[in-house]
Chain A
Amino acid sequence: MNKDTWSGVVLLAVAGAYYWATGAIPDSTLEDEVGAVGLPHVLAAALAVLGLVLLVRGALAARTEAAGGPEDEERDARLPRALGFLALGAAYVLLLPYVGYFIAVALLIGSVTLYEGAPRRWTVPVAALGGAALYWAVFVKLLGVSQPVGTLFQGLFS
């Protein structure tokens, strides 16, 4: 299966899931004629049609020639590598409420830097801690955003 076929399948699945989710929208007498589900139903149908077109087109193209993407995409990181990168961000989001902003940001900067192939030298922890201090100063001190303190340390600061 080529990219278009896959895309078509995914679009059909998204359209189906979205349509299914419209079932949870309550009916209200405050509603107009179009209703809260009016546009969602149209959108689900439109996406399904577009998905089908892609599916068919992909199947036809697969018979004639192997579709090749533009050069730019081929240089991109492979899926596992890209997801690994994102996983570091997900770890940040999960850790944030527990360890607090400063430590979470330091860990994020440090881990991403290493993941992206920086040599294992003293500069990595220094950059991580320095970056965390900088962002903490900008976001927490200067902008006054209440980034999480972290439940681990709540007793220490309050």
Chain B
Amino acid sequence: MNFKVELTRRTGLALLLAGALAGGSLFAGKAAADPAPYPVKVVTLVTHSSPGGGSDVFLRELSKYLGKYIDATFVVENVQGGSGAKAVARVAGAPADGSVFYATTPTYIYTSLLSKPPKTYKDLEPLVNIFADSEVVFTRADGPYKTLQDVIDKAKKDRGKWGAANPASLERQAAEQLKHAAGVNAAIVTHEGGGDMMLNVLNGTLDIGVGEFQELRSQIEAGKIRVLATFNPERLPEKPDVPTVKEAGFDVQLVKFRGLAGPKGLPDAVTKAWDTAIQKVLQDPEYKKEYTEEVLVAKFIDHKDYPTFVNSFATTTETFLKETGAIK
């Protein structure tokens, strides 16, 4: 039943990346610039999120600009259900001619590992990575904590109360690793998504929350929430005064990636076209303005290196889940 789990998924995703769609369109047309030739005419981009959800918005937004650089029409298809397992199965079974791709997020790794569906991330070929989301540690602005060290000190003396948005998620993993690295005692409370957790940070039930920057933007602007640190490997371009967790003295970092994957055996012509197009689209001034506003960090990984990246992410996750006993 879990309308709440469902809610989580939708909300979490809805908050990512959204925002920049004003003036967008359902189908991205071919733009005036000189697009590179492409073997197929229509490219379907599949996501497991519902219309308006994070990956959905990401794809629609991206496809608006892709037409300038790849000579094809882009269509977004929502294959919901099974936390992404069905979308993965849909893409894994599609012809490997560059006509169908799946929007990757850590979700598809988690689903593959936790529920062992018939088709997993191993049945897809990672194409390119495009972005990394910004993951931060935050607290309420009028609370007692000014730095991450304050929070750790409190957890050392007393007992910390930390929030993570979802039970089996990258944020949970980060919080557990931080607790371990700092060697402190903290209760890690999982929630039904970022909004639910933010309420508990605002009303003082929790010391800190670990979540996506995108979900906090309005409360940060309103001065209700203070960002203490980021789990990203580098500081956020928009918040240069916020240190990384690593700089604060704890060797924990995470990359919530966002890219594309296709069926196995993609031809070279296709992968090359994407390598070039994504690099160009990330430089597109209009698109850059939009995704920068969303606090998305451009993180291009080409087709040669992306499978290694995804596999090492999956291995780390699998190790974590096995250590905790969530999977055998």
Say if the two chains contact directly (CB < 8 Å).
Answer: yes
Q: Hey, which bits of chain A sit against chain B, CB under 8 A?
A: 26-30, 146
Asked if residues A30 and B327 are in contact (CB atoms below 8 Å), the reply is no
Binds A, one of B136-144, B150-158, B318-326: B318-326
Cβ contacts under 8 Å, A29 to chain B:
323-325
Q: List 19 A-B contacts (CB under 8 A).
A: A26-B325, A26-B326, A26-B327, A26-B328, A27-B325, A28-B324, A28-B325, A28-B326, A29-B323, A29-B324, A29-B325, A30-B167, A30-B168, A30-B172, A30-B176, A30-B188, A30-B324, A30-B326, A146-B77
A146–B324 CA distance with the chains assembled, in angstroms: 39
Q: A30-B168, A30-B326 known; 12 other A-B pairs, CB under 8 Å? A: A26-B325, A26-B326, A26-B327, A27-B325, A28-B326, A29-B323, A30-B167, A30-B172, A30-B176, A30-B188, A30-B324, A146-B77
Q: Give the chain A neighbours of B168 by CB distance below 8 A.
A: 30
Among B77, B168, B176, B325, max chain A CB count under 10 A is at: B325
Chain A residues within an 8 Å CB radius of B327: 26
Q: Which chain A residue has the least Cβ–Cβ distance from B321?
A: A28
Rounded to whole angstroms, the CA-CA distance of A27 and B326 in the bound complex is 6
The answer for the CA separation of A27 and B323 in the assembled complex, in Å, is 11
Taken together as a complex, chains A and B put the C-alpha atoms of A28 and B321 apart, in Å, by 9
Interface string of B305-328 (1 = CB under 8 A from A): 000000000000000000111111
Tell me the minimal C-beta distance from A145 to chain B in angstroms.
Answer: 10
How long is the Cα–Cα vector from A29 to B324 in the complex, in angstroms? 5
Give chain B's interface residue range (CB within 8 Å of chain A): 10 to 19
The distance from the CB of A62 to the nearest CB of chain B, in whole angstroms, is: 37
Type the 1/0 row for B65-96, where 1 means its CB is closer than 8 Å to any CB of A. 00000000000010000000000000000000
How long is the Cα–Cα vector from A61 to B75 in the complex, in angstroms? 65
Using CB atoms, name the residue of chain A closest to B187.
A32
Complex Cα distance, B325 from A26, in Å, reads 7
CA distance A29 to B291 in the complex (A): 38
Q: Mark B155-167, 1 if CB is under 8 A from A, else 0.
A: 0000000000001
Q: Is the interface of A mostly helix, strand, loop or mixed?
A: loop
Once bound together, how far apart are the Cα atoms of A26 and B326, in whole Å?
A: 6
Q: How far is the CA of A75 from the CA of B323 in the complex (A)?
A: 58
CA distance in complex: A26, B321 (Å): 11
B130 to chain A, nearest CB (A): 26
Q: Looking at the assembled complex, report how far the CB atom of B321 sits from the nearest CB atom of chain A, in whole angstroms.
A: 8
B165 to A: closest C-beta gap in Å? 14
The closest CB in chain A to the CB of B79 belongs to A146
- B181 CB to nearest chain A CB (Å): 16
Bound-complex Cα distance A81 to B327 (A): 45
A28 partner residues in chain B, CB cutoff 8 A: 324-326
Contacts of B323 in A (CB 8 A): 29
- Bound together, the chains give a CA A109 to CA B111 distance in angstroms of 38
* Closest A residue to B327 using CB positions: A26
CA distance A72 to B140 in the complex (A): 59
Bound CA–CA A26/B324 (angstroms):
10
Query: When each residue 165-177 of chain B gets 1 if its CB lies under 8 Å from chain A and 0 otherwise, what string results?
Result: 0011000100010
A28 to B323, CA, bound (A): 9
Nearest B residue to A30 via CB reads B324
Which 6 pairs of residues, A with B, have the shortest CB-CB distance? A28-B326, A29-B324, A28-B325, A30-B324, A27-B325, A28-B324
Give CA–CA (A146, B325) in the complex, Å.
38
Bound together, the chains give a CA A26 to CA B328 distance in angstroms of: 8
Residues of B within 8 A of A146 (CB): 77
CB B206 to nearest CB in A, in angstroms, measures 15
B residues 217-239 near A (Cβ < 8 Å) are none
A28 and B201 alpha carbons, distance in the complex (Å): 26
B2 to chain A, nearest CB (A): 14
| Contact residues, B271-327 vs A (CB, 8 A) | 323-327
Chain B residues, CB < 8 A from A30: 167-168, 172, 176, 188, 324, 326
Taken together as a complex, chains A and B put the C-alpha atoms of A26 and B113 apart, in Å, by: 13
